[in-house]
Every structure is written in C-alpha cells, then in structure tokens.
C-alpha cells in the first residue's frame, strides 16, 4: 500500500465502492471495536476539527453522500454505519440505541479524536445529543436534524408494519423505491444512489434492505421512550426540522428547544423526514453555516 493508504484508519474491505457524488478523495473502511462491533465507515483525511456524521435508523451511512459532496469540508470526516446497518456486521443479539452509543464512543476513541463536532439526522440526531451528554468535554458542537425522542405510537406502528412487509423482499428496484418512505422530494440521482447503496440481493433472488431487522426494531422502540432526562447539552447546538416532516411534529421540536435553550433553530425548506436526501444542498448549507460560525469548518 502507498503512504496515503497506510495513513487511513481501519482496514480496506470489499464492499460498495466510492461513487458519485463522492470523488476519489473519499475512502470506505472497516474497523473492529472493543465493543465487538465491526463497523463500516466513510472516511476522508483532513485538518482541523473532526466531523462525525450519524445516520438515521434503517438507512445506511451513504445517505450523507450528497451532503458531503456539497459541503466538501477540509476537516477529517467519519460517517459510520451502525451495528446491523448498511455494511457493518451483525452480532447475534439485537443492537439498540445504547449499543450504538457505546460503539460510536469507542469508534471516536479508536480514531484518536479528543474533540469533534457531531452532525446527526433523526436517530443520528438523538445519538448526537446523547453522545454530547456523555462526552461534554469532547463534543464541541452539534447539529441535530429532526431528533427522534418520544416517537408517537402511530409512527412506531407504521414503522413495524413497513418492516414486516419489507421482510418479504422486492422483485425489482422499482418495487423497492415505491415502498421507500419519505421519498417524494428526492431527485432521480438521489433515488438511484439510494437503491444502489441500500439494497442487497439475497440467495432467494429477492432484493432486501441492508439492515438487521431485530436491531432496527430495538432501536426504534427505544426512540419511543422519553429520553430527555438522559440529555443535558450545554454546547453550541443547531436544531433543525423538515418543513413538511410527518414524523417529528411541531410539539416535539418545541420540547427540544425547551430542553436546549441555547440552541439555534432552523427549518429545512421543502423537506420531510429524510433531510439529507430531501434537500442535501440546503442541509449542507445550514450545517456548514453553523460550523463556520462556531469556527469549526475547515476550507
């Protein structure tokens, strides 16, 4: 390997390659953690404050690809798949929210990050808030889009119905896209990239999403709890909300703002709940502006 490859964390693996909209400056890596998890992550070397991007449940890390391309930070960047999601390995037991939190902390330790900023969407936003609470001297700023806390019963019930239906798999990519929630605002390029990176073909010839079903259900169930007693955030924070979000309602955002009174607030115009895919350019603009104001965005 050349010196540039040697300098990358973790190890190379035979998985989904770098593809547009990302360029060859990005790398796809794996790392074995002390928690037992074997996580896949998107990586780019850089200078300045490291940036950690945390994805939504039952998606993959690749939903950030268009945001990363638009933001194009010079900072070091890491975007992991959680245990049981995307290209990360499954463990025998279901992984829940606290398992993901432990894995993420261990990942940051393994990367040698003493301080870092966190950007999260949905479940990733919740994990960002919990990580900042656990590591108040290491997380320097966070941006949380549509943080999932105390999810409504109807939202959880719909999730379970979709997961059960999707277990049968799909005959075609078109069938899979038709069953993808919150896709109405996506461009053709975003939709194609989602299908290319989120689906696998199983031995029965059917297409299925890249997730471990018991883990995504356990994680989603944890999000129905009132997690605010576990969240204490005093650092610079950006809270933002999809303009047309059908999952996180206005009252939930008001609760978030009450619990984080120093937070700035923004609305992601035109977005439902898949913020990075609904409006990746605007997501990058909001987050980039916040990080730049705090002095953490390297160019």
User: Which DSSP string do the residues of 164-205 spell out, in sequence order?
Assistant: HHHTT-BSSHHHHHHT-TT-TT--HHHHHHHHHHHEEE-TTS
pLDDT average per 10 residues of sequence, the chain (299 residues)? 62 96 98 97 98 98 99 98 96 92 98 98 98 98 96 95 97 98 94 98 98 97 96 98 93 95 96 96 98 97
Whether 170 is covered by a domain: the verdict is yes
Whether 177 is covered by a domain: the verdict is yes
Count CB neighbours of 147 within 10 A: 30
Which pLDDT score, from 0 to 100, does residue 7 have? Answer: 84
* Dist CA 206 CA 144 (whole Å): 35
Whether 298 is covered by a domain: the verdict is no
Do 277 and 192 meet the contact criterion of CB atoms below 8 Å apart?
Answer: no
According to DSSP, residue 241 is labeled: E
**Which residues 6+ apart lie within 8 Å of 158 measured at CB?**
none
Whether 99 is covered by a domain: the verdict is yes
**Residue 192 sits in a domain of what CATH number?**
3.40.50.1820
Q: In b/e form, how buried is each residue of 88-107, taking b as 16+ CB within 10 angstroms?
A: bebbeebbbbebbbbbbbbb
* Dist CA 290 CA 236 (whole Å): 9
Which pLDDT score, from 0 to 100, does residue 3 have? Answer: 36
Whether 270 is covered by a domain: the verdict is yes
Give which of 216, 290, 292, 226 is closest to 256, Cα–Cα. Answer: 226
Which pLDDT score, from 0 to 100, does residue 2 have? Answer: 36
* Dist CA 264 CA 286 (whole Å): 11
Q: Which domain holds residue 22?
A: 3-293
Whether 299 is covered by a domain: the verdict is no
Whether 37 is covered by a domain: the verdict is yes
Which pLDDT score, from 0 to 100, does residue 295 have? Answer: 98
Whole-number CA gyration radius for the chain? 18
Please give the tally of structural domains in the chain.
1
- The β-bridge relationship of strands 139-145 and 116-121 is parallel
Whether 56 is covered by a domain: the verdict is yes
Do 104 and 80 meet the contact criterion of CB atoms below 8 Å apart?
Answer: yes
Do 219 and 100 meet the contact criterion of CB atoms below 8 Å apart?
Answer: yes
Give which of 111, 131, 114 is closest to 54, Cα–Cα. Answer: 131
């Amino acid at each position: 390997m050349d010196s540039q490859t040697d300098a990358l964390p973790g190890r190379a693996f035979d998985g989904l390659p770098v593809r547009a909209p990302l360029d060859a400056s990005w790398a796809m890596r794996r790392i074995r953690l002390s928690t037992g998890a074997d996580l896949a992550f998107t990586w780019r070397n850089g200078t300045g404050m490291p940036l950690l991007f945390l994805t939504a449940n039952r998606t993959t890390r690749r939903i950030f690809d268009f945001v990363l391309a638009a933001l194009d930070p010079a900072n070091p960047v890491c975007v992991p798949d959680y245990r049981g999601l995307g290209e990360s390995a499954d463990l025998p037991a279901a992984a829940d929210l606290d398992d993901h939190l432990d894995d993420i902390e261990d990942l940051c330790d393994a990367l040698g990050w003493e301080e870092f900023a966190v950007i999260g969407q949905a479940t990733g936003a919740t994990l960002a808030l919990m990580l900042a609470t656990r590591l108040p001297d290491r997380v320097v700023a966070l941006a949380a889009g549509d943080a999932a806390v105390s999810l409504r019963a109807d939202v959880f019930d719909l999730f379970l119905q979709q997961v059960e239906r999707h277990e049968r798999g799909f005959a075609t990519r078109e069938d899979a896209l038709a069953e993808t929630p919150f896709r109405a605002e996506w461009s053709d390029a975003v939709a194609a990239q989602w299908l290319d990176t989120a689906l696998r073909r199983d031995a029965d010839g059917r297409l299925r999403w890249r997730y471990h079903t018991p883990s995504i259900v356990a994680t989603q169930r944890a999000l129905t709890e009132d997690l605010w007693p576990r969240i204490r955030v005093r650092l610079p924070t950006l809270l933002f909300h999809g303009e047309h979000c059908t999952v996180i309602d206005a009252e939930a955002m008001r609760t978030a703002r009450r619990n984080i009174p120093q937070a700035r607030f923004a609305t992601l115009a035109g977005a439902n709940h898949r913020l990075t895919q609904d409006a990746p350019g605007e997501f990058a603009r909001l987050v980039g502006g916040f990080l730049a104001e705090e002095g953490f965005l390297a160019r």
